[in-house]
Structure 1
Amino acid sequence: MFENQTFEEIMERMLERVSDEIDKRENSVIWNALAPAAAELALSYIWLDQVLNLVYADTAEGEYLDRRAAEAGLERYQASKAIWSAAFTDGVSVPPGTRFFLEDLYFTMLEDGKLECETAGTKGNANLSGRPLLPLDTIPGLEKAVVGSLEIPGRDEETDESLYERYLIRVRREAVSANQMHYKQWAEEVDGVGKAKVFPLWNGEGTVKVVITNAKMEPASDALIERVKQYIDPDPGKGEGMAPIGAYTAVESAVWKDVSISAKIIPESGRTIDEAKQEIVEKITALFKEMAFKESVIRLSQINNMIYESSSVSDYSEVFINGEAKNLQLIETEIPKLGQVTIIEQD
């Protein structure tokens, strides 16, 4: 809006107000007297432009977007902590509050026998399964303390993009009166949930099924499923959670759909087949994570484009998904998982 209010434009207007009988050339007395004020005014217009961007939700960032969202009753999701199972010496009781250490991370024993990472965010989702824990408290008879499986992944603080999407849903009243979007919103509010999909009337009148992924866009654990169930509908039909009276809510996990990819390629000069395969695997893995619960078709054209755009690939042919040169249709509860990737050199 103020992009034309430059130093030069402001100086020109100011000098026009000065009599032509006075020397107005650059570095003259009057020019040097006006220049500092013009520079400050130009800077003020730059700040005014930024202020306008922070006023509106579609261009606001950080705390200013938080304040806009708060007007609609929304708060940014804070980083949540990862929950792990653990195995200890048989017969040894580990009291709640006991702390352990592993890989620069501290863990605390919870009431339900699970371990909570004290560091919030995705750092607590590291590959720790089977690793020994170092207890920070003395526990008589404890000889084994091993990390089990990741029950509920931690998630990082919500991004501006995600918060803005939820803001639009709220102000456009897309999620109201226990409609489908409202159930989706409730499920995704639970710490550890990535995406949710809602199936109304799945088992007759008054029934709703919610299918969820965890924060890593993987199938959810039983613990996370129970957490969502308790939040939405702890006592079916009673309206004691977020769901209204008379609504019976079932919560299930998404399921994997193994997807194999094969292709023939010609590597770029100086690059190897292994380098090309690694690059292709990284691109397709990111694609599958992004499309989870958003798209239900893995398109052959998408895979072709990713191979074509790989810097280590010069040319390619015969691309197949699960052995066929066609799109792969997913069922509504499936999320794609990259399985075997076969990349061979084209003759």
Structure 2
Amino acid sequence: MFEAQTFEEIMDRMLSRISADIDTREGSVIYNALAPAAAELAKSYIWLDTVLELVFSDTAQGEFLDRRAAEAGIERTAATKAVRAGEFTSGVKIPAGSRFFVDNLYFQYTADGTLECETAGEAGNANISGQNLLSLDTIPGLQKAIVKEILIPGREEEDDNNLRERYFTRVRREAVSANKEHYKQWAEEVDGVGKAKVFPLWKGDGTVKIVVTDAKLEPASDILITKVGDYIDPEPGQGEGQAPIGAFVTVESAEWKEIEISASVLPEINSSIDQVKDEIEAGVLNLFKKMAFEDNVIRLSQINNIVYNSPSVSDYSDIKINGLAENLVLDDIEIPKLRQVTIVEQTR
């Protein structure tokens, strides 16, 4: 809005008000006297432009977006802690709150028998399954303590784009009165949930099915499914949770759909077939992450684009998804999982 208010433009306007019989050339006394003020005014206009960007929700960032969202009763989702399973000496009672250490991470044993990472965010999602835990407390009889699989992945603090999307959903009243979007909102409010999909009337009047992924956009664990159910409908049909009276909610996990990609490829000179495979795998994994519960069709054209744009690929042909040269349609509750990429090297 104020892009035209540059130092030069301001100086020209100021100097035009000076009497014609006074020297206003650059370096003159009057020019040098006005220049600092013009520079400060130009800087003020830059700040005014910035302030306008921070006022409106579609361009606000950081704490300014937080304040805008707070007007609609929405708060940025804080980072959540990873919850993992543990394996301990059989028959040994471990007090809740007992602390363990592994790979620069501290975990607390919880009342439900799981291990909660003390560090919020994705740190607790580290690849440490099977490693021995060091007990920081004296626990009689404890000889074995091993950290196991992730039950609820940790998640970083909500970014601006997600917060802005939730804000727009609220102010545009897309999620109201227990409609589909409202159930989706409730499910995704639960710590550890990534995305949710809602199926109304799936078993008759008053029934609602919610299928969820975890924060890593992978199938949810039983403990996470229970958390979602307890938050939305702890006593079916009684209206004790978020769901209204008469609504019977079923929560299920998304399911993997294993995908195999194959192609015949001619690598670039000085590029190996392993480089080609790594680049294609990375591209497909990124595509699948974006698709989870957003698009249920894996298009052959998308795989073609990934192969075509791989730096190590000179030419290619015969691209297939699960052995077929056609699009693959996923079921509504499925999320794609890359099983393998098979590359056949063409000869020059």
Coarse TM-score class (shorter-chain normalised): over 0.9
Question: Who is 1:271 aligned against?
Answer: 271
How far apart are the structure 1 equivalents of 2:40 and 2:314?
53
Give matches, 1:55-74, under 5 Å.
55-74=55-74
SS of 2:4 mapped into structure 1: coil
User: Offset of 1:100 from its aligned partner?
Assistant: 0.6
SS of 2:234 mapped into structure 1: coil
Percent of paired sites with the same residue: 67
Question: Who is 1:249 aligned against?
Answer: 249
2:100 counterpart of 1:96: no
SS of 1:53 mapped into structure 2: helix
Give matches, 1:198-217, under 5 Å.
198-217=198-217
2:10 counterpart of 1:35: no
Question: Who is 2:228 aligned against?
Answer: 228
Question: Who is 1:322 aligned against?
Answer: 322
Question: Who is 1:106 aligned against?
Answer: 106
Give matches, 1:295-334, under 5 Å.
295-334=295-334
2:11 counterpart of 1:21: no
1:264–1:346 CA contact under 8 A, matched in 2: yes
1:87–1:145 CA contact under 8 A, matched in 2: yes
How far apart are the structure 2 equivalents of 1:70 and 1:172?
15
Question: Who is 1:140 aligned against?
Answer: 140
Give matches, 1:112-261, under 5 Å.
112-261=112-261
Encode CA deviations 1:153-184: one digit per residue, 9 max, x unaligned: 11110010001111111011000000000000
Q: Could you tell me which amino acid in structure 2 is paired with residue 59 of structure 1? A: T
Root-mean-square deviation over aligned CA pairs: 0.6
Q: Could you tell me which amino acid in structure 2 is paired with residue 309 of structure 1? A: N
Q: Could you tell me which amino acid in structure 2 is paired with residue 89 of structure 1? A: T
User: Offset of 1:141 from its aligned partner?
Assistant: 1.3
Question: Who is 2:288 aligned against?
Answer: 288
SS of 1:82 mapped into structure 2: strand
User: Offset of 1:269 from its aligned partner?
Assistant: 1.8
SS of 1:119 mapped into structure 2: strand
How far apart are the structure 2 equivalents of 1:148 and 1:340?
25
User: Offset of 1:249 from its aligned partner?
Assistant: 0.1
Encode CA deviations 1:71-109: one digit per residue, 9 max, x unaligned: 111011110000011010111111011101111110001
TM-score by length of 2: 0.99
1:317–1:346 CA contact under 8 A, matched in 2: no
Give matches, 1:2-13, under 5 Å.
2-13=2-13
Q: Could you tell me which amino acid in structure 2 is paired with residue 16 of structure 1? A: S
SS of 2:13 mapped into structure 1: helix
User: Offset of 1:127 from its aligned partner?
Assistant: 1.3
1:132–1:147 CA contact under 8 A, matched in 2: yes
Q: Number of residues paired by the alignment?
A: 347
Q: Could you tell me which amino acid in structure 2 is paired with residue 213 of structure 1? A: T
Encode CA deviations 1:263-294: one digit per residue, 9 max, x unaligned: 01111221110011001101101110110000
Question: Who is 2:76 aligned against?
Answer: 76
User: Offset of 1:314 from its aligned partner?
Assistant: 1.3
Q: Could you tell me which amino acid in structure 1 is paired with residue 226 of structure 2? A: E
How far apart are the structure 2 equivalents of 1:346 and 1:306?
18
Q: Could you tell me which amino acid in structure 2 is paired with residue 325 of structure 1? A: A
Q: Could you tell me which amino acid in structure 1 is paired with residue 30 of structure 2? A: I
SS of 2:264 mapped into structure 1: strand
SS of 2:54 mapped into structure 1: helix
SS of 1:4 mapped into structure 2: coil
How far apart are the structure 1 equivalents of 2:91 and 2:237?
40
Encode CA deviations 1:41-87: one digit per residue, 9 max, x unaligned: 00000000000000000000000000010111101111000001101
Moved runs in structure 1, 4+ residues, more than 2 A?
A: none
User: Offset of 1:140 from its aligned partner?
Assistant: 1.4
